[in-house]
Amino acid sequence: MATVPTQPDEAPRGDASGFTRYMKQDLVSGLLVSLIALPLCLGISLACGYPPIAGIFTAIIGSILCTFLSNSELTIKGPAAGLIVIVVGCIEDFGGNGMTGGWMDADMTAYKAALAVGVAAAVLQILFGFFRAGILGEFFPTAAVHGMLAAIGIIIMIKQFPVALGVIGAGGEPLEMLREIPRYLAEANPAIASIGIVSLAIMFAWPLVRDRVSFLKPIPAPLVVLLVAVPMGMGFDLLHAHPYSLADHEYQLGEQYLVKMPDRVFGMFDDITFPEFSALQQPKAWKWVTMFFLIGTLESLLSAKAVDLLDPWKRKTNMNRDIVAVGVANLAASSLGGLPMISEIVRSKANIDNGARTRFADMWHGIFLLLCVALIPTVLHRIPLAALAAMLVYTGFRLSHPSEFLHVWRIGKEQLAIFVTTVVVVLATDLLIGVAAGVILKMIIHASNGMPLKSMFKPFLEIQDVNKNTSMIVAKESAVFSNWIPFRRQIEQVGLVQKRNLIVDLSGTKLVDHSVIEKLKEMERDFQQEGLEFEVRGLDSLQPLAGGSHAARKVGLTKLQRITVVTEPSLEDRLIREIVEFGISGYTSTPCSGAGRRQIADGHERSPRVRIEVIASASSAKMVIDFLRREILDEHRITVCVETVSVFRADDFCDSLK
């Protein structure tokens, strides 16, 4: 059940026939995903300063509406941890503090104002999709986006850490709360902290256990957390307020440490809340509308693209249609008291692993959530907040994992600078300023690397016909994130729309950045899905700024290896034939004569020789040297010299590097 499904003869389709044909697989996957989604929806909602039921509203509405409005077959729609920072910021700006100090009138006022912000942002999302602006998600540089997500992860961990310890009333700016961690540890409620620590340990350990025990693979870690944390909460009798003593210190326990849920069957409908649209008259509301819209749209686009790559049948989502669907669902959710939603990557990955075939798996996941919350709210009330906080701490850690920093560093030092700048500025200010800082820094770095300012937003492209089936786009000046959108449109128009194979020649550019190199790889997959060929040429005529294959490149000298072989003329043809097979596109062969050390010592005259010289990449040079050692050196007298040289247009020497 947790393996990639066996593919039928054709890709499953989310239509009426697909609904009945794949009902079993989609229903089972929807059930398993709902078990993951239930605690996460509750936890995300509480972390945002919304009532816990708001996250469930969002997942239910999103799953049902988007199933019929979007053509994304395997994405799961719902609230996501990546939006916590924005939503809680909006709540706090309107005077609320959510779960940190109990639910007060000010919290309800802020909640209704945030709902109005969500409605306005949803309208912008719908317009965004209708005007086919989904491609704008391609604008932001990769390092800045990853830095934003890492910063979100750090903020989630900082803000949820005191909740996992049972500290009441903790709040403030991320850096302020970071300084307060020693105090949170000192004020931790031992009983609640034990639930949080055990829950966090399960979140980290369960993937390792599940990988070693096959029958446990279908069981998600959040469900295991609930199976352990709920009995712990019952053991501590959290349903009833009472004190307890430990180490001469008295602590309080009670329902404030449990999820607040309706106290009767179908009571969830009593919690439907409508927006207060008068809040939109305040100028600060539009800052949050912009952030809800921009960050929510960007995250949703990135997630939907990632899920397309994971789809076993490589079905392609219409991004404009998907954003319209998300916008309509957000409009409905915010109008009824729900959180903003996106296409959620973790639950979508679980959906694929559980064997889902069509978009109806998303619908079933929403139906199971509806049944759960409508029919057993008193059971959900027993979930400890510390357990939900632990799940979010783990989610935050995954977003800001140290491997993210190492991955960016390997791509290039300038990418790490953009990544770290975005993280630091987001922590010190907010998401929009942080992403803007990353974008501006990247432009400054590009300018310092020789990017012509005239090509910052406009690519200079020349279209050539190679043959009746193939075209070539020759790029000049630069190919960078800020001019990628018109560049991509030209690629799509010349290749995908006209159904032609395409060659992209970058040898004439002065700078190609990491974001464009990654996006060209994505375009290659798009062409493959259409049965077309896509080739990128000229990257190796540019100098990489780091060792990674996706590192940015600029015009300059490239370091290659020069191999000089002096040997007897009878070996010339064989050596040249073998060398060419290693991907080396040129050589020089010069007749000469000479004498070696032994010949000079014996007084012999010089003998005829041939001098063969090639220039190769490090990998091709290694293959040549290995060949000479393995098949030539033991039987023939040859002289081999290897040196590092700097060249223009490395692809003139090495076909294998194109």
Q: What are 472's two structure tokens? A: 């070539």
To the nearest whole percent, how much of the chain has pLDDT over 90?
A: 58
Is pLDDT at 6 greater than 50 in this prediction?
no
pLDDT at 656: 43
Residue 70 main-chain phi, psi, to 5 deg: -100, 160
Q: Name the most confidently modeled range: 11-25, 53-67, 137-151.
A: 53-67
Place 649 in a pLDDT band, splitting at 50, 70 and 90. low
Place 654 in a pLDDT band, splitting at 50, 70 and 90. low
Q: What are 165's two structure tokens? A: 């310890």
Assign 458 to helix, strand or coil.
coil
- Please tell me which residue, 652 or 214, carries the higher pLDDT value: 214
Q: What are 168's two structure tokens? A: 């009441």
Select from 456, 418, 410 the least CA-distant residue to 436.
Answer: 418
Each residue of 240-270: pLDDT tens digit?
A: 999 999 988 999 999 999 998 888 877 888 8
Select from 5, 602, 80 the least CA-distant residue to 352.
Answer: 5
Each residue of 496-528: pLDDT tens digit?
A: 999 999 999 998 899 999 999 989 998 998 898
- Integer-rounded Cα radius of gyration of the chain: 30
pLDDT at 100: 60
CATH: 3.30.70.120, 3.20.20.210, 3.40.1400.10, 3.40.50.720. Which one for 557-657? 3.30.70.120
Each residue of 564-574: pLDDT tens digit?
A: 999 889 888 88
In CATH terms, the superfamily for domain 453-553 is STAS domain (3.30.750.24)
Mean pLDDT throughout 524-534? 89
> Token match 């540890």: residue?
185
Mean pLDDT throughout 184-190? 94
Each residue of 203-236: pLDDT tens digit?
A: 999 999 988 888 888 888 999 999 999 999 999 9
Q: Rounded to whole angstroms, how far apart are CA atoms 387 and 164? A: 7
Assign 616 to helix, strand or coil.
strand
Mean pLDDT of the chain: 89
Q: Rounded to whole angstroms, how far apart are CA atoms 167 and 541? A: 58
pLDDT at 504: 96
Residue 466 main-chain phi, psi, to 5 deg: -85, -50
**Cα dihedral across residues 424, 430, 436, 437: positive or negative:** negative
Which residues of the chain does CATH 3.30.70.120 include?
A: 557-657
- Please tell me which residue, 119 or 210, carries the higher pLDDT value: 119
Asked if 196 and 166 touch (Cβ cutoff 8 Å), the reply is yes
User: Helices 385-399 and 142-165, interaxial angle, to 10°?
Assistant: 160
Place 652 in a pLDDT band, splitting at 50, 70 and 90. low
Which residues of the chain does CATH 3.30.750.24 include?
A: 453-553
Q: Would you give the DSSP letter of residue 236?
A: T
Single pTM value for the model: 0.80
Q: Rounded to whole angstroms, how far apart are CA atoms 194 and 196? A: 5
pLDDT at 485: 92
pLDDT at 3: 44
Is pLDDT at 142 greater than 50 in this prediction?
yes
Q: Rounded to whole angstroms, how far apart are CA atoms 468 and 470? A: 6
Is pLDDT at 237 greater than 50 in this prediction?
yes
Q: Rounded to whole angstroms, how far apart are CA atoms 502 and 500? A: 6
Is pLDDT at 45 greater than 80 in this prediction?
yes
Mean pLDDT throughout 52-60? 94
pLDDT at 2: 43
Q: What are 331's two structure tokens? A: 């409009």
Place 98 in a pLDDT band, splitting at 50, 70 and 90. low
Is pLDDT at 16 greater than 70 in this prediction?
yes
pLDDT at 101: 62
- Please tell me which residue, 129 or 605, carries the higher pLDDT value: 129
Q: Which has the minimum average pLDDT: 199-208, 303-312, 436-445?
A: 303-312
pLDDT at 266: 79
Q: Rounded to whole angstroms, how far apart are CA atoms 341 and 608? A: 78
pLDDT at 615: 87
DSSP lists the bridge partners of residue 504 as 473, 536
Q: Would you give the DSSP letter of residue 339?
A: P
Q: What is the DSSP string of 509-577?
A: EEEE-HHHHHHHHHHHHHHHHTT--EEEE-GGGSEESSSSTT--EESS-EEEEEEEEEE-GGGHHHHHH
Place 4 in a pLDDT band, splitting at 50, 70 and 90. very low
Asked if 412 and 551 touch (Cβ cutoff 8 Å), the reply is yes
Mean pLDDT throughout 430-453? 89
Place 1 in a pLDDT band, splitting at 50, 70 and 90. very low
Residue 542 burial (10 A CB sphere; 0-12, 13-18, 19+): buried
Place 657 in a pLDDT band, splitting at 50, 70 and 90. very low
Q: Rounded to whole angstroms, how far apart are CA atoms 477 and 470? A: 23
Is pLDDT at 5 greater than 60 in this prediction?
no
